[in-house]
Amino acid sequence: MREKHLTQSAGSVDAASERSSFADAVGYYLSLQPRQLPSRYFYDALGSALFEAICRLPWYPVTRAETRLPECHARAILSHLDPLSTVIELGSGSGGKLGLLIALGRRSPNPLTVHLVDVSPTALAAASDALSRLEATTVVTHALRYEEGMAQIASRPRTSCRNVVLFLGSNIGNFDRPGAAAFLRAIGSSMAEGDGLLVGTDLVKSERDLLLAYDDPLGVTAAFNRNLLVRINRELDGDFDLDAFAHRALWNGAESRVEMHLVCTRPQQVTIPASGLDFTMPDGESIWTESSYKYRPEGVAAMLEHAGFLVVAQWIDGGFALTLASRSA
Ligand code: AVJ
């Protein structure tokens, strides 16, 4: 039997205001010392495709670990959330992990509404396509940043059944520690008592393995990183000399994070008219493009409890942790 496919698109930012906020952010962050760019801008159509390729690399274990966890524990995870009516996934990417969780873990085919919040329209299209094939499932997409998406979802009427918020793929790793704590609190404030939060975190492991994951021998991560400059050149009329930037990944043990940088290897003048920028970059100066924080299992639990959650269960596999918490009273 063929099921009904239900998908709606609830919100997105229009292209002109998207471009102008990108231009402003680039102007602001590239003027800081050290120069920076926010990692959320990696995900244009090409960047999203490169990220999907990263997820298939043998050196990037995050996605495989996080696919195995719901494969093994989907029933256990969802049994804590019965009766579930609404799933909200922040940073859904292509939606594969959520699809597995629902397909394997759902006991009764009660109608389920799935809200997907992601800045990448390409990723949302793939995810809603995959998820709307599930039985009795309505998919609503929000092409917005996490906070805006959460606010839009919270403004809708809710049922008395349970909601669960999924924050998988180690997406929380892009926040620094205080930022992650504040973000979890903000999510908690839009949840009702008994609602669930499932968080995926990459764990601290050997420096060698961490660096291989972020500086792979095929150069896919390097392309993903440099694509940010490609995007600035294309969308904001920038003139970065792409050949003159080297990809660098490093482990910052004191901060417990992998950092990605783009190091200038030939002195150059950079102009980005849409951002009001005109500056020189000497040989060796770098642009810091991403931080990916790594956790210890007990650190995740402490952070959640501190943000007003009760930890229900934690599953660990392949250097990765999935932690289920519920909103405390
Ligand atoms: C999507 C933020 C979880 O930090 O591992 C992958 C992005 N950057 N390779 C991560 C990423 C370089 C990824 N997150």
DSSP string for 168-232: -TTGGGGS-HHHHHHHHHHHHHTS-TT-EEEEEEEBP--HHHHHHHHS-TT-HHHHHHHHHHHHH
Kindly give the number of the ligand 1 atom that is closest to the alpha carbon of 93.
1
Residue 160 scores a pLDDT above 90: no
Give residue-wise pLDDT tens across range 226-256. 999 999 999 999 999 999 999 999 999 999 9
Residue 279 lies in a domain: no
291 lines ligand 1 (CB under 6 A): no
Domain coverage including residue 58: 1-235+295-329
Tokens 């670990």 belong to residue: 65
What does DSSP assign to residue 295? Answer: B
Q: Which residue's CA is the nearest one to ligand 1's atom 1?
A: 171
With beta carbons less than 8 A apart as the criterion, state whether 198 and 169 touch. Answer: no
Q: Residue 77 pLDDT more than 80? A: yes
For position 223, what pLDDT does the model report?
Answer: 98
Alpha-carbon distance of 130 to 116, in angstroms, equals 12
For residue 143, the cross-strand partners are 12
**Assigned domain for 45 exists:** yes
Ligand 1 centroid to Cα of residue 264, in Å, is: 22
Encode pLDDT of 78-90 as tens digits: 999 888 899 999 9
| pLDDT at position 167 | 95
What's the angle, vertex CA 258, arms to CA 65 and CA 317, rounded to 5?
20
Encode pLDDT of 278-329 as tens digits. 999 999 999 999 999 999 999 999 999 999 999 999 999 889 999 999 998 7
For ligand 1, the distance from its centroid to the CA atom of residue 292, given in whole angstroms, is 7
**217 CA to centre of ligand 1 in angstroms:** 16
Q: Collapsing DSSP states into helix, strand and coil, what is residue 110?
A: coil
CB atoms within 10 A of CB 16: 8
Q: How many residues does the chain have?
A: 329
Residue nearest (by alpha carbon) to ligand 1 atom 14: 171
Whether residue 5 is predicted with pLDDT greater than 60 in this model: the reply is: no
- Residue 2: per-residue pLDDT: 38
**What pLDDT is attached to residue 70?**
83
Q: Does residue 171 line the site of ligand 1, with CB under 6 A?
A: yes
| Residue (of 39, 48, 41) closest to 93 by Cα position | 48
As a whole-number percent, the residues of the chain with pLDDT over 70 amount to 98
Is the residue at 275 inside a domain? Answer: no
pLDDT confidence of 28, banded at 50, 70, 90? Answer: very high
158: DSSP letter: -
- pLDDT of 1 reads 35
Say what percent of the chain tops pLDDT 90: 72
* Residue 92 confidence (pLDDT): 84
Tell me how far the alpha carbon of residue 41 lies from the centroid of ligand 1, in angstroms.
Answer: 12
**Rounded distance, CA 86 to CA 161, Å?**
8
Q: Is the pLDDT of residue 109 over 90?
A: no
Assigned domain for 277 exists: no
**In this structure, what CATH number is given to the domain that contains residue 180?**
3.40.50.150
User: Which residue owns the Cα nearest ligand 1 atom 9?
Assistant: 214
pTM of the model: 0.92
Query: Which atom belonging to ligand 1 lies closest to the Cα atom of 258?
Result: 4
Q: Which of 103-107, 137-141, 153-157, 225-229 has the highest mean pLDDT?
A: 225-229
- Is the confidence at residue 3, as pLDDT, over 70? no
Count of domains forming the chain: 1
The response to whether residue 320 sits with its C-beta less than 6 Å from ligand 1 reads no
Report the separation in Å between the CA atom of 90 and the middle of ligand 1, taken as the mean of its atom positions: 14
Query: Residue 240: inside a domain, yes or no?
Result: no
Note whether residue 272 is domain-resident. no
Instruction: Copy the structure tokens of residue 139.
Output: 């998919």
Question: Within a domain: residue 132?
Answer: yes
Choose the residue to mutate in 290, 293, 322 for probing ligand 1, maximizing ligand atoms within 8 Å of C-beta: 290
Pick the residue whose CA is nearest to atom 12 on ligand 1. 214
Question: Distance between CA 95 and CA 113 in Å, rounded?
Answer: 14
Is pLDDT at 4 greater than 80 in this prediction?
Answer: no
pLDDT digits (tens, 9 = 90+) for 116-130: 999 888 889 999 999
Is residue 167 in contact with ligand 1, taking CB distance under 6 Å?
no
Structure-token pair, residue 96: 């594969």
What distance in Å separates the CA atoms of residue 245 and residue 287, rounded to the nearest whole number? Answer: 9
Nearest CA to ligand 1 atom 10: 292
pLDDT of residue 250: 98
User: Residue 259 domain-assigned?
Assistant: no
Whose structure tokens read 């919270």?
A: 154
